[in-house]
Structure 1
């Protein structure tokens, strides 16, 4: 299998159009098309960039090999991406959980900077996750994001639920117990609505 066929198969495996790949490589779509048809060969700097985009070696791109080698290379990349995705998801959820613990500990003792720290940790967990799962295979990327957000909403929503409950009951003569108890149904309603919305979003995006 020559370099043009490898570029084409790697591009399709990552769900990229010729136009999208061309933008990343800063070349025209026609240039990508010519490479895949073996009418021309990418310059050395583009070969290096292609290897980084698809996370394969330059030797793999340049040395002709059987089709089975490409399948093996793609399988290795997908396995690496899946492992990376799982690790980053677990790390981000752990950070979000720590943020939740810090927030609730601070709320119970009315520590304002602690509440801010906890919320910042939870937002930071989302930013960390989004940064760390870039450049992984497209189907794994979307599955990872869906899994992360469907779990993380249950960790992220307690504080917004308390805040919303406080806004609703703020003018009423209720004690602390009723205030805390009242936030539970608000939490489950908000989390469930967002859970369903995220599920439907990813279902529609597949259609």
Structure 2
């Protein structure tokens, strides 16, 4: 087990862990299923790994996550922001699904209720359900596009 590196940035920690085990960047990259350039960018603090990769790194070096993460405030902040972003995206996805289903439900309800003409010749129909249905569908589609845009932006 490595001695904790409090106050050391994440890149320095990774490099120290790698070199102490006499691994090249290429060898570590193979263990983690990433490119050598990715390892280099971590070690030079150009990029930081996501939480899933941090877990793999901790397992590879047999470290606890707190030893790996808490030494670098930048890494801690990044992982907290990533978590917050994932939560926002999940809420956006649920909202999208609910809005689209509500829109479809309005159309179905309008069809099920149907229209009737009373004895005075007045037409009674749930006309308000149609524009509400379109409104919910439109909001759902907009929300869906926002979700996809964020997801694509996060992957790049």
| Band of TM-score, shorter chain | 0.3 to 0.5
Could you say which structure has the greater relative contact order, defined with CA pairs below 8 angstroms and 6 or more residues apart?
2
Q: Give the TM-score, by structure 1 length.
A: 0.31
Task: Please identify the structure whose Cα radius of gyration is greater.
Answer: 2
Q: Give the TM-score, by structure 2 length.
A: 0.40
